[in-house]
A and B are shown apart, each in its own frame.
Chain A
Amino acid sequence: MSSSGIRQIFLFILLVFLQVWLFNKIHLLRYATPMLYIYFIVKLPGDMNRNVVVILSALIGLCVDLFEYTLGLNMLACLVTGFMRHYYLRLFAPRDIFESFIPSFSSFGQALFLRYAIAMTFTFMVMLFTVESLSLFDPLTLTFRIAGSFILTLLLICAFESIQSGISKK
């Protein structure tokens, strides 16, 4: 197995672990919960087969669901995000990248990566909290939850990304 494959598996386990034991317990101002595990979908190689991306996205969602007893909820949100990723990459990936690439600050440039991460995170949050609110609909709470979790998650993704690009530069 390639080193990139091992890296993906490691990232998968690490992010599910962090999500279930740390981030799901955080409720900043009672609304914002970071959903950092979508960083896994964000960081999948750009040229990866779309079918594989869709399956992996659904799988990580289902893993988080199993621990939270919210069967299908995270899976659906991840699935849609993973599916939309191809279109976001077409929109935001720099045109001059030809060979295999992993979306990051260094390969995209900060501005483009940030736009790509915003699109991904926002899609995920809207899907997750809208479907969740089907059982109890309250527009104001829904807006706060989407906005709060979106900002918190995006900040964490940027933080992780800065650390990673710092390490790879050294």
Chain B
Amino acid sequence: MKNLFNFILKNVHWLLFLILLSFSVWLIVKNNQFQRSKFLLVAQDITGKVYAVTSGFQSYMNLNTINAGLLKKIAELETEVYAYQQLLEMKADSVQTGSLEVDSLRVLIYQFIQARIVNKNISGVENYITLNRGAEDGIEADMGVLSANGVVGVVMATSAHHSVVIPVLNPKFHLSCKVKHSNYYGPLVWDGKDARYTYLTELPRHVDFEVGDTIVTSGYSTIFPEGLPVGVIVASQKQKDDNYNSVKIALFTDFYTLNGVMIVKNSYQQEQKKLQKEVIQ
């Protein structure tokens, strides 16, 4: 008995090693559920605060690029405003105005909340981004995130003042997309290699497309409205089974310089989800 006790005491580092090893393996396996767990939310608030201090400096360094992007966006919006002004003038002149009001109401389904990135990790395979808005700003899980140029990702979890986004640069995230001006869609899947490119998979072989075509969101979810720009086709390759194409896409969003984003709030998301849930049950 004494020998056994001595043996255990002598090899207690093995025991400790195995316990800690199983703990870390458990953490890795449970990682998905953990992202939404309370434990991580507490950690998230602390790390988020620390990150907020350093990200100020980083955003200053990227100001040039951001300014260029903003100017471009302003130009686009100016054009849009001009178009609407013309529409209003036309409406004032016109007698039949009923159809216009129905259309303009639909736009209000989606609201955009501005947010800043406090931390992003795009070097690994499973990447995440932290934003400076949280539950107190009305942010909830499953809200879409956009940059000035295109789609970024989806909010995965929120704490009081911060939220964690799963970007398109994460193989666990599949975004439903389609080639602009066609109705065939497929999931957008990242291959874990290059933060500039991703792939639109499971696109039926007979769908016509050309290099240079724009890829947009399909709108077949409650997260993003239809037709938001995602990227542009740069190459295509056949998938293992010959009925589908896999298309290589250059993303519009430059994740290396990305700093400011917009969170998309769908006012009818809960309602739509509830309805879908009821139908399934």
Q: Which residues of A contact B (CB under 8 A)?
A: 21, 24-27, 30, 33, 50-51, 54-55, 58, 61, 65-73, 75-76, 79-80, 83, 131-133, 135-136, 138, 141
Check if B136 is an interface residue, CB within 8 A of chain A: no
Tell me the complex Cα distance, A51–B17, Å. 8
A27-B123 contact in complex given A71-B40, A76-B25, A135-B172, C-beta closer than 8 Å: yes
Question: Which stretch from B190-198, B223-231, B264-272 is at the chain A interface?
Answer: B190-198
Q: Which 9 A-B pairs have the closest CB atoms?
A: A72-B27, A72-B28, A76-B24, A50-B13, A72-B24, A136-B192, A75-B24, A71-B27, A69-B128
Tell me the complex Cα distance, A136–B13, Å. 33
Closest to A49 in B: B13
A51-B13 contact in complex given A68-B124, A135-B171, A141-B193, C-beta closer than 8 Å: yes
Shortest C-beta distance, B122 to chain A (Å), equals 8
Check if B257 is an interface residue, CB within 8 A of chain A: no
Contact with A along B22-63 (1 / 0, CB 8 A): 011111101100110000100100010001001000000000
Residues on the A chain within 8 Å of B21, using CB = 76, 79-80
Q: Which residues of B contact A (CB under 8 A)?
A: 12-13, 16-17, 20-21, 23-28, 30-31, 34-35, 40, 43, 47, 51, 54, 119, 121-126, 128, 164, 171-172, 191-195
Residues on the A chain within 8 Å of B164, using CB = 69
Tell me the complex Cα distance, A131–B107, Å. 45
Chain A: interface secondary structure?
helix
Residues on the B chain within 8 Å of A135, using CB = 125-126, 171-172
A83-B17 contact in complex given A68-B124, A69-B164, A135-B172, C-beta closer than 8 Å: yes
Residues on the B chain within 8 Å of A33, using CB = 123
Residue from the list B17, B35, B47, B191 in contact with A67, Cβ < 8 A: B47
Q: Check B123–A66 contact: CB distance below 8 A.
A: no
